[in-house]
DNA sequence: CCACCCCGCTAACTTTTGCAAGCACCCCGC
DNA sequence: GCGGGGTGCTTGCAAAAGTTAGCGGGGTGG
C-alpha cells in the first residue's frame, strides 16, 4: 500500500534543504518539527504526516504541491482532472441547494451516457434499494435555470 | 499545531461519500481503511495521514488536491481558479452539448445570486474558510497571477 | 588542552494513528 | 416471535508518528 515513496521524498527534501543552505536543525526549527525527526524523514525511515509535509513545504518556500507530487501523492496529470462534483461543492459563489441541482444534472448526464454506451451492464453495481434517481428533470432548477 | 481543519475535512468527506451513494463501510473498504476509523475521520476526531487521505481521494474518485484544499493544506485561492466551468470542460464523461448546458445553468445561478446579494459589484474576493494561520509570516511574494 | 558551538544521528519516551471486535439500532424475510 | 444483514458508533490495543535527552565528531579561539 505504500503509495508514498518515502525514500524519494526524503532525498528530495534533503536536496532542497541543502540547496537552501539550511542545516537540519535550522529547517526543523523553521518548520516546527524536531531535528531528529526531520533527519529520519530525510533518510526515509519515517513517513511524515500531511501536516508535517505542509510545514516543511512552507519552511522551504516550495509549493506544497511540489512536495506532494514528489511524495507520489499527487499525480502530476491528476491536477487537470478536478472532478466536477468536487469543484461544484467547493464553489462558494452558489448556494448549497444550487450545488445539489447542478450535481444532480451532472450525474444524470453521466448515467444517460453510460446507458447509451452500455445497454447491458450485467450485475449492476447499483446498490440503491430505493428508486432510480431522477434521471432527467432533476427537480426544480426552474427558479434559476428558467431565468437564463 | 492544527494547520489541518479536521472538522471541515470530515464534513466534506461525508458529503462526498453520501453524494457518491456509498455507505461508510463501502467507502472504507474501497479505500482500504477500517470502518470505524473512517467514521472518526468524518466526525473530525482524527487527523488522517497523508496516505489515508490519498486512498480516500482515490476511492471517492476526487482529486487528492481537492481534499488537501478542503483540509486547509493547500491554499484554495492559489488554485481555485480552476473553477467549475473549467472542471466541466475538462470532463471526458459528458458530451460537449451537455457541458454547455451545465455551464449555462451554473452561470445563471451565479448571475442570480449576484443580482440578489450585491447589486453593486465591488469585487468579492472569496475567502470564506480561509484561516488566519501563518503565525510568523515568513512572507512569500505570492505572485498568484490569476489566470482567470 | 579545553571550553564552546555547531553538525547529524541514536535512544528512550509520549502521543496519536489506525485497526479488530463488539455494541445498539433499524429493516426485511421466515 | 427469531435470524440475518444493513447502517453508524464506542471500546481497548498494536503500531506507528513525533517528542526530548544525550551521543560522537568537527571546527575555532582562549
B2 CB below 7 A from strand D atoms: no
| Structural domains counted in chain B | 2
Answer whether A4 touches B (CB < 8 Å): yes
Say if CB A56 and CB A67 are below 8 A apart. yes
The residue among B118 and B108 whose pLDDT is bigger is: B108
d(CA B30, CA B47): 19
d(CA A55, CA B73): 9
Say if CB B111 and CB B101 are below 8 A apart. no
A90 CA to C25 C1' distance (Å):
34
- Taking only the tens place, the pLDDT of each residue in B29-86 is 999 999 999 999 999 999 988 889 888 988 987 777 777 777 766 665 555 545 677 7
Q: Is residue A96 part of a domain?
A: yes
- Interchain contact, A82 vs B66, CB within 8 Å: yes
Name the DSSP letter for residue A71.
T
Return residues 56-85 of B near A (CB < 8 Å): 61-66, 68-71, 73-74, 76, 80, 82-84
Which CATH number do you get for residue B65? 1.10.260.40
Chosen domain end from A57, A76, A95: A76
- Interchain contact, B106 vs A94, CB within 8 Å: yes
Provide the residue range defining the domain that includes B112: 78-117
Query: In terms of C-beta density within 10 A (0-12 exposed, 13-18 middle, 19 or more buried), how is residue A73 classed?
Result: buried
Whether residues B16 and B68 fall in one domain: yes
- Taking only the tens place, the pLDDT of each residue in A38-65 is 999 999 999 988 888 888 988 887 767 7
Mean pLDDT over the full length of chain A: 73
Whether residues A10 and A68 fall in one domain: yes
| CA–CA distances in Å: residue A142 to residues A57, A109, B19, B111 | 46, 18, 22, 15
Q: Is residue A128 part of a domain?
A: no
List the single range of A8-12, B38-42, B96-100, B141-145 with lowest mean pLDDT. B141-145
What are the cell numbers at B85? 466551468
Q: At CA B62, angle to CA A74 and CA B100, rounded to 5?
A: 120
| CA–CA distances in Å: residue A99 to residues A95, B13, B31 | 6, 16, 26
For CA atoms A127, B46, B57, A41, the dihedral sign is negative
Percent of chain A whose pLDDT exceeds 70? 64
Q: Is residue B65 part of a domain?
A: yes
Terminal Cα-to-Cα distance of chain B (whole angstroms): 33
Q: What kind and span of H or E run contains A69?
A: helix A64-70
Long-range pairs, B54-57, Cβ under 8 A, ≥24? B54/A3, B54/A4, B54/A73, B55/A1, B55/A3, B55/B31, B56/B13, B56/B27, B56/B31
Whether residues B40 and B69 fall in one domain: yes
Q: Is residue B139 part of a domain?
A: no
pLDDT at residue B122 in the model: 46
pLDDT at residue A117 in the model: 67
How far B41 CA lies from chain A's nearest CA (Å)?
A: 14
- Taking only the tens place, the pLDDT of each residue in A94-130 is 888 998 899 889 888 888 887 766 665 543 343 333 3
Q: Is residue A106 part of a domain?
A: yes
Amino acid at each position: 500500500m505504500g503509495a508514498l515513496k518515502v525514500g524519494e521524498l526524503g532525498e528530495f527534501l534533503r536536496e532542497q534543504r541543502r540547496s537552501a543552505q539550511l542545516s537540519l536543525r535550522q529547517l526543523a526549527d523553521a518548520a516546527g518539527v524536531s531535528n531528529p525527526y526531520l533527519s529520519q524523514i530525510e533518510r526515509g525511515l519515517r513517513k511524515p504526516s500531511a501536516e508535517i509535509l505542509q510545514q516543511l513545504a512552507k519552511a522551504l518556500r516550495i509549493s506544497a504541491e511540489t512536495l506532494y507530487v514528489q511524495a507520489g501523492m499527487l499525480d502530476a496529470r491528476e491536477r487537470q482532472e478536478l472532478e466536477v462534483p468536487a469543484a461544484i461543492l467547493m464553489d462558494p459563489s452558489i448556494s448549497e441547494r444550487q450545488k445539489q441541482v447542478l450535481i444532480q444534472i451532472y450525474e444524470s448526464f453521466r448515467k444517460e451516457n453510460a446507458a447509451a454506451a452500455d445497454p447491458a451492464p450485467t450485475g449492476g453495481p447499483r446498490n440503491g434499494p430505493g428508486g432510480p434517481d431522477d434521471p432527467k428533470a432533476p427537480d426544480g432548477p426552474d427558479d434559476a435555470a428558467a431565468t437564463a
